[in-house]
Amino acid sequence: MDKMQTTSIGGGKISFVDEGDGPPILFVHGFPLSHAMWQEQINFFKHCYRVICPDLPGFGRSESMDPSSGATLTMEALADWLVDFLGAIECESPVHFCGLSMGGYIGWQFCKRHPTRVRSIIACNTRAGDDMGNIRRGREIAARQVMVTGSKPIADAMVQKLFFQHRPGLTETSFYNQIHEVISSTDPASIAAGQRGMAKRENVSAWLSKLGSPVFFVAGQHDQITPADEMQQNASLVENAEYALIPNAGHVTPVENAPEFNSAVESFLGRFD
Ligand code: MLT
């Protein structure tokens, strides 16, 4: 079990894990998950790195920035919030920013807005483009729906998409049940705010070639949400980018195939020693 700590940012209580010593790695979870998705990375990297995993505001055990039902949680606001968070826990050195999906969308904004705070970016199962019109509209519908139905139907639907469905015994795995539980217990208003924030996110594809930080794209072989081909295409836009395809994984590679994910990230980080 990880050791959760708490701090306060703008009056809101924030839960996070901060373990180990060494160059900091900031792990930023996907939507609508929590720091708990990084448990295997905490166990593995804390021996050589400072491993920092916050619950983003409104997710996991952290309080929301704006609990109203019509709130929008933009990627820009979350990137700025992460800088405040790093200040609150006295992490001054530039971080290796490892973000999954929505965590990656936030990572691009973190790099754009706070380039001196970044040592490298590990972009896991994430896009650089924005949403097509129909997807954007779908997010608004989903944001309204979750306020009526609560979060459990979202959890039921998302576990059908997040994981590699042909994994033997998938529904009996502890991670499947844990992620279902995390989503079911997320405040519907946070889910709605996240959907609206992602719908508004910027298309950073053209900017990728100007990215000043080393970048490692990590894709899941069976990802239905962010297809591996799209990630490989994004990697080709960035000079000296690295790319890895993790087998036997869908959209949540750090969870579904932690040994291969950890070893790929360890080897990427080895170039900074
Ligand atoms: C995530 O895993 O963070 C979400 O699938 C991102 C999204 O909805 O675009």
pTM assigned to the model: 0.97
> Which phi and psi angles does 234 have, rounded to 5°?
-65, -40
When the pLDDT of each residue in the chain is averaged and rounded to a whole number, the result is 96
Residue 225 Cβ inside 6 Å of ligand 1? The answer reads yes
Name 87's Cβ contacts closer than 8 Å, sequence gap at least 6.
none
Supply the pLDDT for residue 1: 56
CB atoms within 10 A of CB 62: 23
With the most atoms of ligand 1 within 8 angstroms of its CB, the residue from 59, 98, 102 to mutate is: 102
Confidence bin at 69 (pLDDT 50/70/90): confident
Q: Is 151 helix (H, G, I), strand (E, B) or coil?
A: coil
Residue 194 Cβ inside 6 Å of ligand 1? The answer reads no
Rounded percentage of the chain residues whose pLDDT exceeds 90: 95
Going from the Cα of 273 to the center of ligand 1, the distance in angstroms, rounded, reads 32
Going from the Cα of 212 to the center of ligand 1, the distance in angstroms, rounded, reads 25
Residues 191-245 have pLDDT tens digits of 999 999 999 999 999 999 999 899 999 999 999 999 999 999 999 999 999 999 9
Residue 175 Cβ inside 6 Å of ligand 1? The answer reads no
Query: pLDDT at residue 67 above 90?
Result: no
With the most atoms of ligand 1 within 8 angstroms of its CB, the residue from 198, 253, 256 to mutate is: 198
> Which phi and psi angles does 257 have, rounded to 5°?
-140, 65
Sequential DSSP letters for 100-146: ETHHHHHHHHHHHH-GGGEEEEEEES--SS---HHHHHHHHHHHHHH
Closest residue by Cα to atom 4, ligand 1, is: 31
Distance of CA 38 to the CA centre of its chain: 10
Confidence bin at 68 (pLDDT 50/70/90): confident
Strands (E), 20-131: 24-28, 50-54, 95-100, 118-124
